Amino acid sequence: MTSISRRNALFSLFGAAAGRAAATKPPNILYIMADDHSTRAIGAYGSTRNVTPNIDRIGREGVRMGNCFCVDSICTPSRAAILTGKYGHMTGVRNLNERLASGQQTFPQLLQKAGYQTGLVGKYHLSAGDIKNPPEGFNYWSIFPGQGKYFDPLMYEMGKERQFTGYATDIVTDLSLEFIKRRDRNKPFAMLVHYKAPHGLWEFDAKHAEMYKGRMEEPDTFWDDYRNRSSAGAKNEFNFNEQAARMDSPKWPTGRLDTTGLDARGKKAAAYQKFMQDYARCVAAVDDNVGRLLAYLDSENLTRDTVVIYTSDQGAFTGEHGWYDKRFFYDESIRMPFLIRYPGEVPAGKVVEGMGLNVDFAPTLLDFAGLPAPSDMQGRSFRPLLRGRTPANWRKSMFYVYYMRTELPPHYGVRTEHHKLIRFPLTGEWELFDLKADPKEMNSVYEKPQYASVRAELKKEMARLCRELKISEGELPSAEKAPAGRGK
């Protein structure tokens, strides 16, 4: 008897109320993940700069999580955390383009063993671009080498190279739909749709080239001068001062930004406008393709039987603090969009404010499939939160660690509902933010005497989380030891 058969038998015996709607067969899973998609560029999260009607539909017909965070805001480590439900010190993936070692247990492997048909298309980013090290746990896969290309991408498909013509976002959708259409209709499917967009260099297609030509609103922290905090912010190389110089080149892929005659302030403002317009056009292509996926589910009467998730591999800066990219343990960087629809169980139009993490994705998806999470997964299912019930012992804090010694100093810290403490080991500096009084993280209060007790409690909580997660002091970034590396 398969795991799915045993699960169905249990539902028949015990008549579990929460699972009756899916008792005859576990739900299909459509997991859609963009790359670097900020919550501030999604209509469902209140964006006033762009529109995303199809992505918004998932939230309107399901649940929007307001406080979903990643535990390391960089592509490869976050993707490893999502697949395994574990932090980087457990997966060994702490840097960009690192390989997820064979033998690391992932939720697709467990779904596949339980009888699911599993597929992965798009950006994987855990094989270091090596065709000889394919993703495990998939009946079908077609992935970009490394970052992949926006136009005419080469893909590694089931161990062979395959050259495509067209725009990557459309191609990922085409292949994903092909897999779903070819499925065995007597078995559930789990399809992972991983878009490259809107990751830099924000190459949009001709279909969306005329969108967003007007002036984009600047975030109110765009002209941040990085005072009243550590030196880390001023060292962040992903800023629009430097980006202006990169864009003012005839080789820039979306067209040169001519900054002739502009002073430094004018160049920075112009670079933001071009970035945000190009970024929003890439998002528009993703949104159109999400619409294609949802329309197929509707046409095949699969909507009610399918868990649909839209998320990103992390958050992203879209001009906040004068930055783009991610990495920093600031909320714009770590807050992930997470919209989920599952008619019959997940209530429509609700917002969940409980704290979810990317290490929770694997146990949550296994929970929907009726499968237990392995004991070594460090996340936990937030399915109860989606139903409107917060367990009494649900987390009140999270631990974050960014290991790389690159364009931004390595750092780690703890976030609670109202406070955030960050340690920068290379300089010995700390930052402490009162998120209730200063939600945009503009002024560190670490040195203020009135926050002495808060500071002490947060350090105790950081130590407790390290013990709980089995992170030894030697495994944290330090002045003497931090992985080298560069890239996006």
Helix axes 264-299, 240-247, angle to 10 degrees: 80
Measured distance CA(122)–CA(185) in Å, rounded: 23
Coil, strand or helix: which one is 188? coil
Measured distance CA(2)–CA(167) in Å, rounded: 40
| Strands annotated E in 132-246 | 140-143, 154-157, 160-163, 189-194
Q: Looking at residue 481, what is its pLDDT?
A: 57
Query: Which residues, 6+ apart, have CB-to-CB distance to 431 below 8 Å?
Result: 229, 230, 232, 413, 420, 421, 422, 424, 444, 446
Query: Which residues, 6+ apart, have CB-to-CB distance to 357 below 8 Å?
Result: 68, 69, 70, 71, 379, 395, 398
Residues linked to residue 398 through DSSP beta bridges, in sequence order: 415
Coil, strand or helix: which one is 29? strand
Q: Looking at residue 484, what is its pLDDT?
A: 43
Measured distance CA(134)–CA(128) in Å, rounded: 10
DSSP 277-344: HHHHHHHHHHHHHHHHHHHHHHHTT-STTEEEEEEESS--EESGGGBEE--SSSHHHHBPPEEEE-TT
What string of H, E and C letters represents the secondary structure of 99-160? CCCCCCCCHHHHHHHCCCEEEEEECCCCCCCCCCCCCCCCCEEEECCCCCCCECCEEEECCE
Q: Looking at residue 295, what is its pLDDT?
A: 98
Query: Which residues, 6+ apart, have CB-to-CB distance to 70 below 8 Å?
Result: 78, 81, 313, 314, 315, 334, 336, 357, 358
Q: What average pLDDT values come out for the chain (488 residues) when binned by 10 residues?
A: 45 37 77 98 97 98 98 96 97 89 92 98 87 90 95 96 98 98 96 98 97 96 96 94 96 97 98 98 98 98 98 98 97 98 95 97 98 97 96 97 88 98 96 98 98 98 97 86 43
Q: Looking at residue 480, what is its pLDDT?
A: 64
Backbone angles phi, psi at 198, to 5 degrees: -95, 40
Measured distance CA(275)–CA(70) in Å, rounded: 24
Measured distance CA(90)–CA(68) in Å, rounded: 21
pTM: 0.93
